[in-house]
A = this chain, B = another copy of it.
Amino acid sequence: MNIDIGNALLDDATPGLRTDRLETLDEQVADAHERIADGRARDEFGYAALNLPETTDPDGIREACGDFEDSEAVLTVGIGGSALGAATITEAIGDGTAHYVLDNVDPAQTESVLAALDFTETAVHVVSRSGTTAETLSNFLLVREAMADDGVDWTERTIVTTGDSGPLRSLAETHNLPVLEVPAGVPGRFSALSTVGLVPAVITGCDIEALLAGGKSGAESLSPSLFDCPAYAYGAVAYALDQQGAGANVMMPYAEGLEAFAEWFAQLWAESLGKAGMGQTPVRALGATDQHSQLQLYRAGPRDKMVTLLRPARREPLTIPETDIEALEYLGGTDLGEVLDAEFEATEASLAEAGCPNVRIEFDRLDAHSLGRLLYDMEAACILAGELYGVDTFTQPAVEWGKRAARGLLGAKETEEAQAVTNKRTRRIE
């Protein structure tokens, strides 16, 4: 993986980094790296995520998946970090085995997923660290019912990934289910390269050893200078541009297989860095599609954003047929990937020309090794940025208020937050 920050250094970019700013930033990176290396060495909460390529046991995961490796489909029941990493991996490099995800509590969606599945051929992966996540457990109860309706013994088709105690752990032990542990020191959004992300990966035929090897190459690339470390260069540049006004960070992969990756990144960035009045707003986009949707704003709108452009250096060949339609003759015989790459470069230059800072991330090709490296490097970039902001990267305290309110509304227990909900100020226009 490499990163090109040339278009964030433009003299006329707004915001843009001057060369002397890079030098002072590099000193901050050296300090932050020391803190990160220390956290990794002690396997501290959160920093432990950067040790996953070493600590994750692929053999144990393959063993738990056992007979499920031949399933026709896998269903992940989980939400947020319990689902996004897995979805990112299977979408990008899965072998085509269907991966369904129940990561919401929309009755129409749950019903349509349950109706689509043949449970006799489906592996169900239920993921919740606490074993009590309301959305996940609601769906899981419905899944069990649907399996019973199909005459399938749910205990035969379910893998559990959870913490070392809680209702899901007890359930797994009672029914002797294959059970894996959510690594203790790793927040959900950093768990893609653990049991959480790798179970569906195994079932959809991904090379999880190569994913972890890619992660390892990221770990080996961490160094005290941003000039030698793509991950830190990304985190530092994003942070510095934000300080100068780039409050939004558009993540725009030029590869359909990375659409879920952009979502994964959005969670990583928002939930880790959105604290104490700080944090970039991650904006998901997809090249070239969103050139016809968002580019007008990026180029001509407020100077409050940076754009991250991402692509593989190599793609599968697919030649556009020759045509006798005159206006289209120039396309005939061209590789479709060349069209996409021309759009990529045109967009990048178009942003630069307008003074909108942008960063290019490239990797060899969209395979397990590159993806493992990409996920690892973005996590390292995020942790580095968290050090520079001075926030607690690994917690998400602001989510708790809403959780208590929802639990109160659902009658789990009385909460004052639920009371606050009923005091809503209303001004309705019909």
List A residues at the B interface (Cβ < 8 Å): 1-7, 9-10, 79-81, 84, 103-111, 131-132, 134-135, 137-139, 141-142, 144-145, 166-167, 170-171, 188-189, 226-230, 233, 247-248, 254-257, 263, 266-267, 270-271, 273-279, 281, 283-284, 286-305, 315-318, 320-321, 323, 325-328, 330-332, 334-340, 342-343, 345-350, 352-354, 366, 396-399, 401-403, 405-406, 409-412, 417-418, 420-421, 424-430
Question: Are A270 and B297 interface neighbours, CB within 8 A?
Answer: yes
Question: Are A167 and B257 interface neighbours, CB within 8 A?
Answer: no
Indicate which residue in B303, B316, B426 contacts A277 across the interface (CB closer than 8 Å): B303
Indicate which residue in B141, B255, B300, B323 contacts A106 across the interface (CB closer than 8 Å): B255
For A266, list chain B residues within 8 Å (CB).
293-294
Report the Cα distance A53→B410, complex, angstroms: 41
Q: A3-B428, A106-B336, A274-B300 are in contact. List 18 more A-B contacts (CB 8 A).
A: A103-B289, A107-B316, A107-B317, A107-B318, A134-B331, A135-B339, A141-B321, A171-B325, A247-B304, A270-B294, A270-B296, A271-B296, A277-B302, A279-B301, A279-B302, A334-B410, A342-B406, A346-B409
Report the Cα distance A270→B79, complex, angstroms: 29
Report the Cα distance A305→B364, complex, angstroms: 37
Q: How many copies does the complex hold?
A: 2
For A267, list chain B residues within 8 Å (CB).
290, 292-294
Nearest CB of B to A316, in Å: 5
Residue of B nearest to A270 (CB): B297
Name 28 interchain pairs, CB-CB below 8 A, sorted by A: A2-B430, A3-B428, A6-B426, A104-B286, A105-B339, A107-B337, A131-B327, A135-B339, A135-B343, A141-B328, A142-B321, A230-B429, A267-B294, A274-B298, A274-B300, A278-B301, A279-B300, A279-B301, A295-B398, A300-B397, A338-B410, A345-B405, A345-B409, A345-B424, A349-B421, A350-B398, A353-B401, A353-B420
Nearest CB of B to A4, in Å: 5
